[in-house]
Every structure is written in C-alpha cells, then in structure tokens.
Amino acid sequence: MKVEDLRRENWRTNERLKLLASRGELLEEEYEQVVREIIKQVKERGDGALVEFTERFDGVKLTPEELEVPYEELERAFEETEEEVKRALELAEERIRVFHEKQLENAFFKEERGAVLGQKVLPLERVGVYVPGGKAAYPSTVLMNVVPAAVAGVEEIVMVSPNPGKYTLAAAFVAGVSRVFRVGGAQAVAALAYGTERIPKVDKIVGPGNVYVALAKKLVYGKVDVDMIAGPSEVLVVADETANPRWVAADLLSQAEHDELAASILVTPSEELAHSVLKELEKLLSELPRREIARKSLERFGTVFLVNDLTQACEVANLLAPEHLELVTGDPFALLPLVKHAGAVFLGGYASEPLGDYVLGPNHTLPTGGTARFFSPLGVYDFIKRSSVIYVSAEGFSKLAPYAETLARAEGLHAHAKALEVRRE
C-alpha cells in the first residue's frame, strides 16, 4: 500500500491521486468490440446464444429450458437456508423496505383559473436486476436492488445471475423476485434489453457487474434505461488521531477483498495513525481467506494520503468522489458540510461501511469511479416514471394562447402558431 504526501500547495498534481481519479474509466477499446458481438449474437439467436455463452464463459452447460430457475427452487432454497441466515435476510429486507418507503413520490394536481396541471407518478412495468456471481455470492445485492423496485410497485422483477447459489435464491424469495434466469455477463444484459424466447424484454436494467456487464449496460442504454455504469468498489476513509487504527484497517480490507481492481484509500493528517494502520493491515491480511485478492488490490490501488488538515482531507475526498466515504474523526458531523461528492457517507468509528452493505437500510448500490459527482444511490425513484397531466378550458386557453403564439412566431414555427390561432378563431 503506497504512502503519498500531499502536504504542499500543488497537491492536485500528484500522480497517484490522478491515477485514482481516472480509475473509473472503462477499458473500452479492449472490451467493447467483444461486448458488441455478444449483444449482436443474442439479438439474432436469442436463447441459443445464451446457452452457448453460458457454457463458454461460466463453464455451465444448460439447455434453453434450464435457463429459468423454477420458482419452487427459490422457496426450497429459503427453506434449506440456516435459521440465522434466514433471520438476517428477513431483518435486512425489512430495514431496506422501511427506508425506501420514505422515498415514495405522490402525484399532484394544481388547479388555477381555466386549467388543471399536475403530475402522475407510475411504476415501471418490468425491470431486470443483474446479480453478480463468480468470485462471491451476493444475496445482499438481491435485496438492495429488488426491494426498492417492489416498494415502487413494479409489476414484474426479472433477475439474472450466473449460476446463482442457495443464498442468492433465498434472498430472491425474500425480496419478491418474479422470475430468475441462470445467465450472466454481457449476454444477460442483452437478453434483458432485447428479449429472447424465454427472457422477457424489460424497461430498465439495474445492478452491478464486471467490465463486460458495465459496457453492455452502456451500449444498450436508450433501448432500455439503466441505473448507472458501475465499476470496481472503493472506500475512502478520512481519519484523524482519534481513530482506531485496527478498525480503519479492517474497513479498508473490506473493500480490497472484493476484487483486484477495488480501491482502499486512507486520507489523514496524522502520520502516527497512517503507520499504525499499515501495521494493522499486515496483521489482518494474514487472517483473510481472500488475502491474495485483497493484497493485489492494495498493491494496485491501496493508498495512504498524508494531508495538512481535515479540510484538505475533504478536498481530496471531493476530488475522488468515492463510492463509500467514512469520516472517522473526533467530530465527523463538523466535516459533513464540506462533503460535496460521495455515494454514501458514514460518520464515526462505529458506522462501518460493511454495516451499510447489509442491514442499515440505505441502498448499497452506489456510484463508483468518481461518478458520485452526478449519480445518486439506487432508490425507489429509479423505478418510477412521471407523466405531466394538462387540462385547459376555453377561458384558460384565451388567456394564455396569445403569449404562446408570440413565442411560436419568434421561433419561426408557424404551424405551432396556426394550431393556436384556429382555436381562437
């Protein structure tokens, strides 16, 4: 894990900082042509292409009939899940649901003389949820992506996941998934976007994935909506001398174990804390089953930045716009007004980021790679759409039409003006 000193005036030119700031850029030239071909094949050959790619990329041989997981398997997975895991899934589902119910929007209507204006709020009819497989199982991702859709009132929630395991299927049962398909990668995204013989076309695709999934979502955007183009996970911890170095090290490792491209960053004005955290990292690494993944992640993107003070620490955080931002200081609430860009902000030593991954309630599907500058966490608002509602009486028309005609002629759109003029006549 590298240590970089930013205690100088031109700290923004630091090469390590610039590397981390550009980390979210996808390797499009390397992967895009492959993803385009996968999407093309799925569009043309449907389930046949899905079966072929599932065997080639995931090593799972299926018939087209086996792509869909029977709903009874979801129920059986839940029944066979250990009681403590069941209770954890149910508690998490409840807390996520209660939090997201606060995000529900209401329709409104405004009456004025001669007009009724308003907004109608409707849920999307069908959404697709991508749940990663491969290096780990993610039942928490199922809950975080499905529960807000269910709260919004989405009629059909279609989940895709490469070879989903017991806990993933149990979470799908708890969350209320409608249908599950054993397919992953760019081919799963293409199937959701265009539909195949068995997988229905959806209105929106949500959920994290690898670079192939992210690029596929980017390429099908416009045919369907997507939540965001997510990259590898990241955490940035702003800490002072009051922080517990073992706790900070543990939180840094919680992201590093995701994959080799994850980023774990500590920003602190305390050299003593920095060195203590590095020592604790080595101790904790030796205890991790996934230590090789975590070690490679720390070698590539793990960084300790030394800064002059906590104000500069927040400037560094805003520049990187991290997915997860932890403020582990004597008075974390005092720093909150300085935070401009972060997917989620965790305040204090006990607000450990992994707690937010599972049971706190706010969504853990967050913008990565600096996109917290313009993306928000996944929420109910991602699963609704709005329609404007407009009624105008003759009285209201006569009051407003002359102004509209004036603007239409100013724009040179005479048919617009004529549509108003014929009514006034």
Question: Catalytic site residues?
Answer: 323-324
Cβ-count burial 84-111 (b if 16+ within 10 Å, e if not): eeeebbeebbebbbebbeebeeeeeeee
Q: Which residues contact 166 (CB under 8 A, 6 or more apart)?
A: 77, 80, 81
Q: Distance between CA 322 and CA 252 in Å, rounded?
A: 13
Alpha carbon of 289 to those of 286, 386, 417, 424: distances in Å? 8, 47, 71, 77
Tell me the residue length of the chain: 425
CA 82 – CA 384 distance, rounded (Å) = 35
CA–CA gap between residue 181 and residue 129 (Å, rounded)? 10
Q: How far apart are CA 211 and CA 190, in angstroms?
A: 14
Across-strand partners of 387?
120
Instruction: Indicate the Cα dihedral angle 87, 91, 94, 97, nearest 10°.
Output: -120
375: left (phi over 0), alpha (psi -120 to 50) or beta: beta
Strand partners, 325: 236, 345
| Contact assessment for residue 1 and residue 306, using Cβ atoms and an 8 Å cutoff | no
Q: Which residue has the tokens 């894990």?
A: 1
Task: List for the chain the helix, strand, coil content (%; round to 5).
Answer: 50, 15, 30
The residues with which 376 forms a beta bridge, in sequence order, are: none
